[in-house]
């Protein structure tokens, strides 16, 4: 009986240790993240967005359209990756277009740049001077395609 209790306690300690390690060591795919969890900026302070793809560049200053673009990202679930090559290529019907999205604050300062291609999502942080790679785990319908096609 004493051995069984020792075994159960040992297993529980190992599980707690592995969960604690998740906060300190990178385990790819171990945790799904939302857009609000991965950003380092205040969405309310974004007043201008430059969006470009291979054929066109648009500048968006309308707060409603900015909210629409940022809300696209809140529909996504992310998993952190070390390298872009760690992201699995998706054959799904999700976003196939490549976008570079530059976010500016009220002062006109570049806050963040986002690269979106298929299920690859990169954040280039100007405040943190860090590039972080994420894999998009779901494929939501994106309004950014409509914003881009309706812009002059």
pLDDT at 55: 83
Average pLDDT value for residue range 36-46: 87
Average pLDDT value for residue range 60-77: 89
Nearest-angstrom CA–CA distance, 48 and 51: 10
Q: How confident is the model at residue 125 (pLDDT cuts 50, 70, 90)?
A: confident
Asked if the model's pLDDT at residue 91 lies above 70, the reply is no
Average pLDDT value for residue range 108-118: 88
What element of type H or E holds 29? none
pLDDT at 54: 82
Nearest-angstrom CA–CA distance, 120 and 109: 25
What are the residue ranges spanned by the domains of the chain? 1-29, 31-150
Average pLDDT value for residue range 81-96: 65
What is the pTM assigned to this prediction?
Answer: 0.71
What element of type H or E holds 67? helix 63-74
Summarize pLDDT for 2-20 with one digit per residue, the tens: 888 999 999 999 988 877 7
Nearest-angstrom CA–CA distance, 143 and 73: 10
Q: How confident is the model at residue 96 (pLDDT cuts 50, 70, 90)?
A: low
Which CATH fold topology does 31-150 show? Answer: Immunoglobulin-like (2.60.40)
Asked if the model's pLDDT at residue 105 lies above 70, the reply is yes
């Amino acid at each position: 009986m004493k051995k069984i209790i020792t075994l159960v306690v040992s297993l529980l300690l190992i599980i707690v240790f592995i969960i604690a390690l998740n906060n300190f060591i990178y385990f790819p795919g171990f945790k799904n993240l939302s857009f609000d969890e991965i950003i380092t900026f205040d969405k309310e302070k974004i007043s201008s967005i430059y969006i470009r793809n291979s054929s066109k560049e648009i500048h968006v200053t309308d707060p409603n359209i900015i909210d629409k673009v940022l809300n696209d990202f809140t529909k996504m679930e992310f998993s952190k990756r070390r390298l872009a090559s760690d992201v699995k290529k998706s054959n799904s019907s999700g976003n196939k277009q490549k976008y570079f999205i530059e976010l500016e604050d009220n002062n006109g300062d570049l806050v963040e740049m986002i690269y979106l291609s298929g299920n690859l999502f990169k954040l280039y942080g100007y405040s943190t001077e860090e590039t972080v790679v994420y894999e998009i785990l779901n494929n939501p319908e994106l309004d950014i395609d409509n914003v881009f096609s309706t812009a002059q």
